[in-house]
Amino acid sequence: MAALEGVAASPGLGIGTVMVIAEPCLAYEVVEVADAEAEKGRLHSAIEAFSVLTREKAEVVRGRVGDAEAAILEGHVLMISDPFMVAEMDNLIDAGQCAEAALDTVCETFAAMFEAADDDLTRQRAADVRDIKSGVLCQLLGVREVDVSRVPRGTVLVTHDLVPSMTAGLDRDNVVGIVTETGGMTSHSAILARALEIPAVLAVPDAVQELPEGAQVIVDGGEGVVTVAPDEAELAAARVRQEALRREKEALQRFVGKKTVTADGCQVELFGNIGSVEDARAVVDNDGEGVGLFRTEFLFMDGGAMPTEEDQFRAYQQAALIMKGRPIIIRTLDIGGDKDIPYLGLEKEDNPFMGFRAIRYCLAREDVFRTQLRALLRASAFGDVRIMVPLVTGVEELRQVRALIRRYADEFSREGVACNKDVPVGVMIETPAAALMADALAAEADFFSIGTNDLTGYTMAVDRGNDRVRYLYSTFNPAVLRSIRSVIAAGTEAGIPVGMCGEAAADPLLIPLWISFGLTEYSVGPASILATRAAIAGWNHEKARALAAAVMEAVTPDEVLDLLKAASA
């Protein structure tokens, strides 16, 4: 039936009944206060009751989710206990305001102050202050907060925004899906949903209006789609997929803690692709051996302003610390094409995928690039950080990046700031030009990572957004496979590691080809890590090479697909 689309924020498939969480009515009457002492007493009791309730919620969250998530709520208690904040409210009450108005005024002043900050983390605190204000107002007005810990089994929560206090008691046995109208990949709601492994689709326009209370829906958190009032066939298909997902997940647990090896004992590296610091935790939770691609553009997309050097440094440093010395490949800003960031003021182009994007933009905007490279260099002192350059078309781009890195590293060494001046610098191979020049690039790059998503599009000269030609977009096309084979050969010949971070790295049909070509590193979505380890374990080199020999004789994508399917059956 009807399908709504949003941000695929937490993977999995949930089938359930919509429960719309309306915001509680917190309107209050502004009255003149005669007895200021009594009114202050009323406010302090409300703050105390709120603090007790919030600490209780934090304990529930600690048990169900984890320490980091509990800390968000504990932070609320600390914030509202701030003597300066309470004194400000008391002063307003002394001046004749009622407790509700004093609370409102002071919280809104703090929220506005946080909103004006130029770092992302401080800006986020504005939402926290407003959440605290609602919690204390509920106590003052005697309004019961929405209690999501007692919803019936099979509930899909639909709300404008899922604030931390609302998610506190959230029970993954009862809540099978979350749909919100706001939030992005790094919003609190997304972080919590992923931590609880509840499928979530965020930023669905008008979700509260479009999804009526009691309606049945399928929440596909992997695809970012909500199917409303599914018919019997859609429900049956979803149940089959759900069961298949469950069984697959269960069976994959035996690969936890294992090395990633082919059936004949050849070890490769298996990394995860991330778009935020929180995703780095998901890589660790899914037993990834490192990060093969940190898409930093998400840090730039989440806020309304450019993240400062400090914002970026903290994000890269935290991700590096979470990886605890394991490799973390951070890609420099890859915007343009389908990824627009309004405040960067990119002009409309007739052909954005061929236009001013990725490394082309960064080399032209040294101010933006300098901020990022400096943040990356500083983070390199906290782990095995490696820098990767997107959309490279030739060695001169790599040389320019290296020159900038050298310059900033020299600045840091003069200033006494710690950084790894020999930070490895690699290139993404995702243009035909880079693939054809792979031998020259391999002589100057520390590593390669093949971006099959773009390499397929550019090799086939296909705009994926164009329905008329989408049929040509296939990594199974022999042209793309030949390109990948020669890139891996060039990297191997030069003795540098060659990885793959496009979607094709996790495709079980293609994995025997990658094994036979000699790929040394696979980087996949965190949820695909164990499945990829299992797929790699299923092939030995002899079998993989025999299949690759036949496949590379094929001249159409259908022939390739038929051979690969037959071999995996």
Residues near ligand PEP (CB under 6 A) are: 293, 295, 334, 430, 451-454, 501-502
17 binds, among ligand PEP, Mg ion, none (CB under 5 to 8 A by kind): none
CB closest to Mg ion, residue no: 454
295 is in an annotated binding site: yes
430 marked ligand binding residue: yes
Nearer to ligand PEP by C-beta: 361 or 382?
361
Nearest to 275 by CA among 565, 546, 8: 8
Cβ-contact 323, 307 below 8 angstroms: no
Q: How far is the CB of 152 from Mg ion (least distance, A)?
A: 43
* Residue 297 in the binding site for Mg ion (CB under 5 A): no
311 binds Mg ion (CB under 5 A): no
Site for Mg ion in 467-486 (CB under 5 A): none
453 labelled binding-site residue: yes
Q: Is 454 annotated as a binding residue?
A: yes
* Residue 501 interaction partner, one of Mg ion, ligand PEP, none, beta carbon < 5-8 Å per kind: ligand PEP
Ordered DSSP codes for 380-442: GGGSEEEEEESS--SHHHHHHHHHHHHHHHHHHHHHT----TT--EEEEE-SHHHHHTHHHHH
Can you read off the two tokens belonging to residue 288? 């990834």
Q: What is the token pair recorded at 14?
A: 């949930």
Q: How far is the CB of 197 from ligand PEP (least distance, A)?
A: 24
User: Catalytic: 188?
Assistant: yes
Which one of the spans 43-51, 239-247, 453-461, 504-512 is the region binding Mg ion (CB under 5 A)? 453-461
3-state SS string over 197-230? CCCEEECCCCHHHHCCCCCEEEEECCCCEEEECC
**Cβ 31 vs Cβ 98: under 8 Å:** yes
Q: How far is the CB of 338 from ligand PEP (least distance, A)?
A: 8
Point out the catalytic residue in the list 98, 188, 362, 419. 188
Residues 407-446 that bind Mg ion (CB under 5 A): 430
Give phi and psi for 467, each to the nearest 5: -55, -35
454 binds Mg ion (CB under 5 A): yes
**Residue 115, annotated as binding a ligand:** no
Nearest residue to 133 (alpha-carbon basis) of 191, 79, 69: 79
Instruction: Give the residue from 287, 238, 242 showing the smallest Cα distance to 260.
Output: 287
Least distance to Mg ion from the beta carbon of 237, Å?
31
CB of 450 to Mg ion, least distance (A): 10
Residue choice 11, 303, 451, 457 for contact with Mg ion (CB under 5 A): 451
At 457, which amino acid appears?
Answer: G
Active-site residue, selected from the candidate residues 98, 107, 362, 501: 501
Question: Is 477 labelled as part of a ligand binding site?
Answer: no
The one of ligand PEP, Mg ion, none whose footprint includes residue 295, by CB under 5 to 8 A per kind, is ligand PEP
C-alpha angle 261/262/263, rounded to 5°? Answer: 120
Residue 424 interacts, among ligand PEP, Mg ion, none and using kind-specific CB cut-offs from 5 to 8 Å, with none
CA distance 155 to 173: 9
What is the dihedral sign for C-alpha 431, 437, 439, 444? negative
- Strands, sheet with 155-159, edge to edge from the N-terminal-most edge strand: 3-5, 225-228, 216-220, 13-21, 155-159, 175-180, 200-202, 7-10
Q: Does 76 qualify as catalytic in the annotation?
A: no
Cβ burial of 25 (10 Å; 0-12, 13-18, 19+) is exposed
Binding mask 372-411 for Mg ion (x = CB under 5 A): ----------------------------------------
Q: Which residues would be at the binding site for Mg ion (CB under 5 A)?
A: 430, 451, 454
Task: Give catalytic residues, as residue numbers.
Answer: 188, 501
